[in-house]
Amino acid sequence: MIPFADPHAQVVELRGEIDAAIARVLDRGRYVLGDEVRAFESEFASWLGTGWSVGVGNGTDAIHVALRALGIGPGDEVILPSLTASATGAAVLQAGATPVFADVDPVHRTIDPIAVEGLVTPRTKAIIAVHLYGQACDMDSLLEIRRRTGVHLVEDCAQAHGARYRGRKVGTFGILSCFSFYPTKNLGAIGDGGAVAGSDPALLEKVGLLREYGWKERYHSSHEGWNTRLDELQAAILRVKLPHLDADNSRRRAISDRYDAALAGSGLALPVRRCAAEHVFHLYVVESDARAGFASHLAAAGVGTLIHYPLGIHQQSHFAPFAPSDGLLATERLTGRILSLPMFPQLSACDQDRVVEAVLSFTGQHQET
Ligand SMILES: *Cc1c(COP(=O)(O)O)cnc(C)c1O
């Protein structure tokens, strides 16, 4: 079976360095918020090109504390796409704010700025730009909306470590940007992890307070706070992996080039790359008129696939109170058609060929319209 993703394959590649990093942490005896986290925070911020980053427990918490640091809470509206991980919506609710769901641009599948425009009200405090599947949102339009309305722009970069827009890395556009280091992400730990990044030191200091009981000084909660720390072991492993991230993203792009060329005549809708942007292919997502049969055909041929996502957040039961009454046309059409093909840097050329062969043996028999 060709797995859909294979975080273990990267551990195998870097096993010696990872073992050494783990041993270093074990022997030093400091396991939470020590030298490794501090070093990772500064290495990650300098890789990204922001002044600061703060390690947190996971990507959902990164969005939650970013919103809290901006003073967003009950009564405030936050605009986000519905086609994203449930986590983006969960974080908005965790902050006590009201999620307002925008449709996506059906071509690039990222939040549609025209839809956003129509949803801004006097209660809107932030827009979350989710760089979905590894591709930057239409940042020119979102930045223009920010300029005109004064609403905060927060980036959800959980699927887009290293993606660029007009040469600039995503995560450097918003007032705060949020990352997940879940094992299958482009930069992944061997457990949970996340970070908030930005260029305003006062805001990042606030994030630092929020992640640990509201402590400015040890044992003195001077602010509201939670517990969402990045641990030393994950930070040490992320420090091993960070120097390989750009090369890994290039390998993902090479696989996507290969898929693009081989599947061009298949009739499937393939990922469309935004002009002036550099996609990092966290996921390679195609669209089929006959997805159920397509997915089971691939499974029978030994090709693992997943759906990201089978429902928009507004279609999920907990979020029903926030669903727009007319639904979201592009999101609902995509969630019925999309399928993610195997995509990870270590996917071998032979396995890429097997994926292509399995796809073409289905589309050859089933004409897409
Ligand atoms: C993975 C992901 C998250 C959440 O990250 P966790 O570390 O799992 O909490 C948030 N947003 C998007 C777009 C994601 O893909």
pLDDT tens for 185-230 read 999 999 999 999 999 999 999 999 999 999 998 999 998 999 999 9
Atom in ligand 1 nearest the alpha carbon of residue 192: 7
Please tell me the residue having the least CA distance from ligand 1 atom 5. 59
Q: According to the model, what pLDDT value does residue 247 have?
A: 98
CA 59 and chain centroid, separation? 8
**Residue closest to 271 by CA, chosen among 112, 154, 109:** 109
SS3 state of residue 215 = strand
**Model pLDDT, residue 10:** 95
Pairing relationship of beta strands 124-130 and 77-81 according to DSSP bridges: parallel
Distance from Cα 269 to the centre of ligand 1, integer Å: 25
- Cα(4)–Cα(270) distance, integer angstroms: 17
- The backbone torsions φ and ψ at residue 245, rounded to the nearest 5 degrees and listed phi first, read -60, -45
- Report the atom number in ligand 1 closest to the C-alpha of 130: 13
Q: Are 256 and 279 in contact (CB under 8 A)?
A: yes
Task: Characterize the bridge pairing of strands 176-180 and 98-102.
Answer: unpaired
Q: What is the predicted pLDDT for the residue at 365?
A: 81
pLDDT per residue over 2-13, tens digit each? Answer: 999 999 999 999
Residue 368: per-residue pLDDT: 67
User: Counting atoms of ligand 1 from 1, which one is nearest the CA of 132?
Assistant: 13
Weakly modelled stretches of the chain, pLDDT under 50: none
Per-residue pLDDT at 250: 98
